[in-house]
Amino acid sequence: MTARSQIPPAHGSLRPDTVVVAGGRPAPEHDAPVGPSIVLTSTYRGSGGLDPADRAYGRYSNPTWEDVEDVLARLEGAERPGLLYASGLAAVASVLSLVPAGGRVVMPRHSYQGSLALAADLVSRGLLTTTAVDVADTEEVVAALDGADLLWLESPTNPMLEVADLPALLAAARERGVLTCVDNTFATPLVQRPLDHGADVVVHSVTKYLAGHSDVVLGAAVTSDAGLRARLKGHRSLHGAVPGPFEAWLALRGMRTLALRIERSMATAGELARRLREHPAVAQVRYPGLPGDPGHERAAAQMDGFGSVLAVVPVGDVAAAEAVVQSLRVWTPATSLGGVESLVERRRRHHEEPHSVPETLLRLSVGIENVEDLWEDLDRALSGIDR
């Protein structure tokens, strides 16, 4: 088998937009393939004994996962390889398993609805309790930390785009010995690095921006802490939410263009946010990149950009909001986000979505199409032309 695909140590200081291209490739030997292989195996040849460092079996490790895990760690600035999972929610479940039975988790009221539903399920079975907080209200979050076991953060939040003061909250949790995890799916490590701000663990739905082409479901957890990593890996091995090697390969293939995709989609998101704010058929736009947005100053201080998701509340009732979604032609009406194609969804169509999310709120995931085509489509749909 070809040698392990590490970026040579001499190049350890490469910038993130180079890491996504250079990482996870075979060692530079003559006739080596330029790109990584998909290693399809359920088991590994052993040496007689059982060394804990052995690959041993396909539920514990896989070289194709490791290509991606190495790149994710470099992007997040972690001292240890990341851990790939079968989905983002599997990574979330693994982190929640770190909470002792009967423990308490502080969670943003507005989080990814799957994470909220998973936590609610654990609560309903008496395994933990949760305290819901407004993540933009630093005092409220800090007040909830005493005696908590885990501070779960999302910033910007899905779908309300509230921005948490990451450095302040992570420091407050550390002082109180509360474990912290940041879901960094919306920002990506090119825009926000929670470990640098003091987080213990970062999770990703790799399904979204990292893989970037709406063709794979995958997740990841990243930490610099050896003990936490061992517990997470143990949970992954025992619970079996492991990714397929092909999905891992697809994710790395997608990540090659992450920097370009993010640059383009963020620029377009900013432009659309400015135009939408002026549109007569729009009641409200939430986007941290807009000066005047409640999260703007914080986001500018802790992020290298503002992401590519917008929350837009059109004028009118639920039927009118649905009509906007259904009359779009360039935008695709679908759940999910972070792909090359622009998607739009009225979030409250999901019954699990918190009722504090406005019923007419549309979540826009801005892709990499031409900004004018996206704008003309939105303008036409919002203005009720062809409806």
Ligand X SMILES: *Cc1c(COP(=O)(O)O)cnc(C)c1O
Q: For this structure, is 59 an active site residue?
A: yes
Q: Which is nearer to ligand X, 114 or 316 (CB)?
A: 114
Shortest Cβ 124–ligand X spacing (Å): 20
Q: Which DSSP category does 57 fall into?
A: B
Residue placing its CB nearer to ligand X in the complex, 274 or 350: 350
Give min distance, CB of 109 to ligand X, in A: 14
Closest to ligand X by CB, 6 or 207: 207
Instruction: Choose between 128 and 187: whose C-beta lies nearer to ligand X.
Output: 187
Nearest distance from C-beta of residue 379 to ligand X, angstroms: 27
348 with 325: CB under 8 angstroms?
no
Longest dimension (CA), the chain: 73
Separation in Å, CA 185 to CA 1, 92, 155, 246, 248: 33, 12, 9, 21, 17
Q: Exactly one of 44, 54, 57, 59 is catalytic; which is it?
A: 59
Q: Give ∠ CA 213-217-218 in degrees, rounded to 5.
A: 110
Which residue among the candidates 25, 67, 70, 112 is catalytic per the annotation?
A: 112
Cis geometry, peptide bond prior to residue 108 (ω within 30 degrees of 0)? no
343 φψ region: left (φ > 0), alpha (ψ -120 to 50), beta (else): beta
**Beta carbon nearer to ligand X, 84 or 217:** 217
Annotation marks residue 347 as catalytic: no
Q: Residue 186 and residue 188: Cα distance in Å, rounded? A: 6
As measured in angstroms, the least distance from the Cβ of 217 to ligand X is 5
Residue whose CB is less far from ligand X, 6 or 158: 158
Q: Tokens for 12?
A: 């350890």
Dist. CA 348–CA 184, nearest whole Å: 22
Residue of 25, 109, 193, 208 with catalytic role: 208
Q: How near is the Cβ of 219 to ligand X at its closest, in Å?
A: 5
Active site residue 209: no
Q: Closest CB to ligand X among 178 and 220?
A: 220
What residues make contact with ligand X under the rule CB under 6 A?
87-89, 112, 114-115, 154, 158, 183, 185-186, 205, 207-208, 217, 219
55 is catalytic: no
- Within the chain, residue ranges assigned H as helices are 16-22, 63-76, 88-96, 113-124, 138-143, 166-175, 226-239, 245-255, 258-278, 296-302, 318-327, 371-382
Q: Are strands 150-154 and 103-108 parallel, antiparallel or unpaired?
A: parallel
Backbone angles phi, psi at 21, to 5 degrees: -90, -45
Nearest distance from C-beta of residue 28 to ligand X, angstroms: 33
The closest residue (CB) to ligand X is 88
Residue among 144, 131, 141, 129 nearest 166 (CA): 141
Shortest distance in whole angstroms from residue 221 CB to ligand X: 12
Dihedrals phi, psi of 111, to nearest 5 degrees: -135, 175
Quote the CA–CA distance of 144 and 173 in Å, as a whole number: 10
Catalytic residue numbers?
59, 112, 183, 208
